[in-house]
Each structure stands twice: as structure tokens, then as C-alpha cells.
């Protein structure tokens, strides 16, 4: 038996949420109890301490997410899955993870979602896909703490991810893809300078939880494949990423760097 400790989310009021693992073919289910990870053969209990939400559901949400391709029984590198997990964490809502092997998708998962995509979460006894739909549904049903954002700020930073992918895939250093990314990051830097530290001001919001995982992929993938990093001329972007990446919710839900690298390898190699 091996035991590992997981840093719980800090809170003034906390409750213990116990998670138990049910072995699944090509899938793993994690559930929470406070502070430790134990293992007996194929059984595991993943434990964290989560704040009690005033309107918390009676049972943990079941959520299907990508499994790691580098380490067994670990969360994979999907930024859209992390976005949903960040929302659950920031709202202090309990959840059970079902880790899905997306290379060999199991039958039980395809019955849940014939498209075979993650994340998928069980809401009101129905399986719901798409991180946009899921996060909005969680915000509507569990509005505290609020993560909503004014419509005029909802698209801030939205073009960074596509610009990052274009630059990452580029084989031509003179094709303008690096400058396109720098332009998007520069616009974001200007917004943070006038409105930060987060996109909507002093408090984290849903748009930060969407952009944060994408910037994490940007940092790791471009650092690995192009030896590139956000330049010092964009200090507000640098500060923003450090702040987002250091949140307890982010640390608990981030992918392993080696999974991010492996996940982008096919696009880089073409």
C-alpha cells in the first residue's frame, strides 16, 4: 500500500467529501475524502478537502475526463476538461472523476456520449457534453461564488489559443504566425494593465477558468517544441499566468507537463 498527500483547497468552512474508486474497464473513477490517497490493488481512494457550498448537491457529480497517456490513473491533458473541473473546484462542488482512455474508448463511455468526446458530466440524471454548456449550467444552478462576466468581456483573450496552435504547427519562421500570437498576447496584456489582475478585475471569473488551461498548454508546448516563452515586454500576461497557475484549484486539476507535450506532438510532427 502506498499513500500520497494532496494539498486541500484552503477555506474557512470545509466539509469532507468521500470518493471511492469503482474499477472500470478502460476507465477509472475517483472520489474524495480528506487529504490522502490510498491504494489497495485495483482500489483507490483519492482524498481532498473541499469547501461546503450553500447549495451543494447531495451527491458528487459524475464527470468523464481524459486520462493521462503517460502515467496510469492520472488526469489527462484536455484544457476543456480542466475548465469544468476548475469551475467545480472554485464553486466547492464535489465530483467523481471517470478517467477515459480516448485512444481505446470503452463501451460504457460511448453509451454515455456517442461522439466520444470529453468532458461529459451528469446533471439532473442526464449526461451533458461541451464545456460551454456545462459551465453555464453550473453557474445557473450554483451561482455562489459567482463566476459570471459582463458580455463585453466574455471574448477577451479568446483568439490566443488559435494563434498559439498556428504558431506551434508552423514550420516556416517567416510566415507571420509568431507575430499573430504576439499581437493577441499584446492586446491581452493591455487589457490586464487597465483592468487586472483578472479579466474582470479583482476576482476570478469563468473566462479566466477557460483561458487559464489554454495558456498552460501554450507555456509548456511552446517551451518544449520551440524554446519559446512569453516575452518580458508583456509583464501583465506573465503575472496573470503565474497567478492563475498558482491557484489551489489549478494545481489540483492541471495535467502533467509530459501529457501536454505528448498531446501536442501529432500536431507538431504533422
Catalytic residue among 17, 65, 75, 78: 78
- Of the pLDDT bands very low, low, confident and very high (cuts 50, 70, 90), residue 17 is very low
pLDDT at 93: 97
Among 7, 87, 27, 2, CA closest to 53: 87
pLDDT at 43: 31
Instruction: Of 7-16, 142-151, 238-247, give the lowest mean pLDDT range.
Output: 7-16
pLDDT at 50: 38
Average pLDDT value over all residues in the chain: 84
- Of the pLDDT bands very low, low, confident and very high (cuts 50, 70, 90), residue 33 is very low
* Higher pLDDT among residues 150 and 31, named by residue: 150
CA distance 164 to 170: 10
pLDDT at 57: 79
CA distance 238 to 6: 27
- Of the pLDDT bands very low, low, confident and very high (cuts 50, 70, 90), residue 58 is confident
In degrees, rounded to 5, the angle at the alpha carbon of residue 109 between the alpha carbons of residues 91 and 254 is: 40
Known catalytic residue at 64: no
The stretches of the chain forming alpha helices (DSSP H) are: 79-90, 107-112, 131-141, 160-169, 177-195, 206-225, 235-245, 248-253, 257-269
Give me the percent of the chain exceeding a pLDDT of 70: 79
Entry pTM: 0.82
Strand partners, 38: 3, 45
Q: For the CA atoms of the chain, what is the radius of gyration?
A: 19
Q: How many CA atoms lie within 13 A of 244 on its CB side?
A: 28
pLDDT at 132: 98
Give me the percent of the chain exceeding a pLDDT of 90: 78
Q: Copy the grid coordinates of residue 68.
A: 493521462
Under 8 Å CB-to-CB from 102, ≥6 apart: which residues?
66, 67, 76, 116, 118
pLDDT at 55: 64
Task: Compute the average pLDDT of residues 191-204.
Answer: 97
Among 192, 212, 201, CA closest to 84: 212
Tell me the CA end-to-end span of the chain in Å, nearest whole number.
42
- Residues 129-185 have pLDDT tens digits of 999 999 999 999 999 999 999 999 999 999 999 999 999 999 999 999 999 999 999
* Residue 9 pLDDT exceeds 80: no
- Tell me if 39 sits within 8 A of 72, measured CB to CB: no
Other beta carbons within 10 Å of 198: 19
Fold of the CATH domain 61-269 = Glutathione S-transferase Yfyf (Class Pi); Chain A, domain 2 (1.20.1050)
Among 67, 130, 58, CA closest to 97: 67
Among 104, 133, 139, 101, CA closest to 120: 133
- Residues 94-105 have pLDDT tens digits of 999 999 999 999
Give CA separation, 176 vs 6, 172, 179, 186, 269, in Å.
Answer: 43, 9, 5, 15, 19
How many residues comprise the chain? 270
Amino acid at each position: 500500500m502506498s499513500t500520497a498527500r494532496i494539498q486541500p483547497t484552503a477555506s474557512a468552512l470545509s466539509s469532507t467529501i468521500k470518493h471511492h474508486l469503482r474499477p472500470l474497464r478502460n476507465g477509472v473513477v475517483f472520489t474524495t475524502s480528506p487529504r490522502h490517497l490510498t491504494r489497495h490493488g485495483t482500489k483507490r481512494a483519492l482524498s481532498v478537502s473541499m469547501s461546503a457550498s450553500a447549495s451543494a448537491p447531495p451527491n458528487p457529480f459524475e464527470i468523464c475526463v481524459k486520462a493521462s497517456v503517460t502515467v496510469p490513473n492520472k488526469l489527462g491533458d484536455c484544457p476543456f476538461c480542466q475548465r469544468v473541473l476548475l469551475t467545480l473546484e472554485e464553486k466547492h462542488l464535489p465530483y467523481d472523476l471517470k478517467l477515459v482512455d480516448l485512444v481505446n474508448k470503452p463501451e460504457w463511455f460511448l453509451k454515455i456520449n456517442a461522439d466520444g468526446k470529453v468532458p461529459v458530466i451528469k446533471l439532473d440524471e442526464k449526461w451533458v457534453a461541451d464545456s460551454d454548456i456545462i459551465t453555464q449550467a453550473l453557474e445557473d444552478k450554483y451561482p455562489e461564488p459567482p463566476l459570471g462576466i459582463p458580455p463585453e468581456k466574455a471574448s477577451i483573450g479568446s483568439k490566443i489559443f488559435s494563434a498559439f496552435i498556428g504558431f506551434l504547427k508552423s514550420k516556416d519562421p517567416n510566415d507571420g504566425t509568431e507575430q499573430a500570437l504576439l499581437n493577441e498576447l499584446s492586446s491581452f496584456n493591455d487589457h490586464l494593465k487597465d483592468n487586472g489582475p483578472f479579466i474582470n478585475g479583482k476576482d476570478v471569473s469563468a473566462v479566466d477558468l477557460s483561458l487559464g488551461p489554454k495558456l498552460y498548454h501554450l507555456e509548456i508546448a511552446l517551451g518544449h517544441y520551440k524554446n519559446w516563452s512569453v516575452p518580458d515586454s508583456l509583464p501583465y500576461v506573465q503575472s496573470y499566468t503565474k497567478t492563475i497557475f498558482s491557484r489551489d484549484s489549478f494545481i489540483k486539476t492541471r495535467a502533467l507537463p509530459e501529457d501536454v507535450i505528448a498531446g501536442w506532438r501529432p500536431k507538431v510532427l504533422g
